[in-house]
Amino acid sequence: MVSFVLIVLISLVFSGIVIRTKSIASGRKGPGIWQPMKDIFKLFKKGAVYSETTSIIFQIAPSIYFASVLMAIMVIPLGNSKGLISFAGDFVFFAYVLAVGKFFNIISALDTGSSFEGMGASREALFSMLAEPAFFILMGSLGLLTGYTSFHEIFMAFHFGSYVSYALGVIATFILIMICMIENSRMPVDDPKTHLELTMIHEVMILDNSGFDLGLIMHTINLKFAMYGALIANMFLGDAPMYLTIPLFLSIQVLFAVVVGILESFSARFRMNHNAQFILVLSSLSLLMFFGVLMVLGKFN
């Protein structure tokens, strides 16, 4: 419950922080922290223009996308307080619920019958498909390390590993950050700053969305960021008491946002056809982590 509220709260300012970081990094006096939310609320109020080729799918997809992310967020715990939904193997549920949103996002892009959005959809589908094994093997190895299969238990137990577990934690963090970037189609994979055929994935998928739907999608991205941030945060929380957990959580989220901002301002986008390899590298990295875990547990000798 706590985690849900916190994540939703942090999502309000997340992209604000990112943009702020970027503007500072590029020496501009950028917009305020709240600017993105203001835009989104304006979008909520606006009317919309729909393509004639679209159907009910296009109308309902953003809502489902948003709902799926909310649902996924409910699974995420905070320190020693469970998420709203928590059971053995809940991260399977987590991944699949996100997949529902993705599914509709993709077909809504196809619904417009545009020559651009299909391209974005195709890439979104491919990259998220390639990213999924990394996530599952990561969770699998964490589960193997701790002996549990639900976020809450895993993260509770994770902190008390040996020192090697910190190394593992670092790898895990890196993988999670990368997955997050891929899922939100941000920097190393895609560049949100530019538009149309330059931003090949996400922005091009939502070319035809406008008004309320666009707002929903925008905020969904914020929520996703916050969600992954929460995952990363959880890896370092353990079951510290609540009065420690919450500030720690918030600071980690902010840190994550800053990191994202810095990453975006100081790195360049890959060429599209390099992305696939890059994402597969993540999977192999997670496999590496898996073997690391095996070593830690002494099962591998």
- Binding to other proteins (CB under 8 A): which residues in 185-224? 196, 207-208, 211-213, 216
Among 36, 77, 143, 229, binds other proteins (CB under 8 A): 143
- The answer to the question of residue 259 lying near other proteins (CB under 8 A) is no
Determine the interface stretch with other proteins among 11-19, 61-69, 158-166, 171-179 (rule: CB under 8 A).
61-69
**Least Cβ distance, residue 175 to other proteins (angstroms):** 14
Binders of other proteins among residues 270 to 299 (CB under 8 A) are 272-273, 276, 283, 287, 290, 294, 299
Cβ burial of 254 (10 Å; 0-12, 13-18, 19+) is: middle
Q: C-alpha 153: how far from its chain's center?
A: 21
**Least Cβ distance, residue 246 to other proteins (angstroms):** 25
- The answer to the question of residue 175 lying near other proteins (CB under 8 A) is no
Joined tokens for residue 8? 């939703």
Q: How many C-alpha atoms does 268 have within 13 Å on its Cβ side? A: 3
Q: Are 31 and 10 in contact (CB under 8 A)?
A: no
Helix (H/G/I), strand (E/B), else coil: 269: coil
| Other CB atoms within 10 A of residue 219 CB | 24
Comparison of 32 and 113: residue with beta carbon closer to other proteins: 113
**Contact letters for other proteins, residues 218-257 (x by CB under 8 A):** ----------------------------------------
**Least Cβ distance, residue 134 to other proteins (angstroms):** 9
- The answer to the question of residue 66 lying near other proteins (CB under 8 A) is yes
Q: Are 107 and 57 in contact (CB under 8 A)?
A: yes
- The answer to the question of residue 171 lying near other proteins (CB under 8 A) is no
φ/ψ of residue 159, rounded to 5: -65, -25
DSSP state of 196: G
* Whole-number Å distance between alpha carbons of 90 and 148: 11
| Other CB atoms within 10 A of residue 224 CB | 21
**Contact letters for other proteins, residues 38-57 (x by CB under 8 A):** ------xxxxxxxxxxxxxx
**Least Cβ distance, residue 260 to other proteins (angstroms):** 24
**Contact letters for other proteins, residues 102-131 (x by CB under 8 A):** xx--xx--xxxxxxxxxx-xxx-xx-xxx-
Binders of other proteins among residues 77 to 96 (CB under 8 A) are 85, 87-89, 92-93, 96
Binding residues for other proteins, how many (CB under 8 A)? 80
Cβ burial of 182 (10 Å; 0-12, 13-18, 19+) is: buried
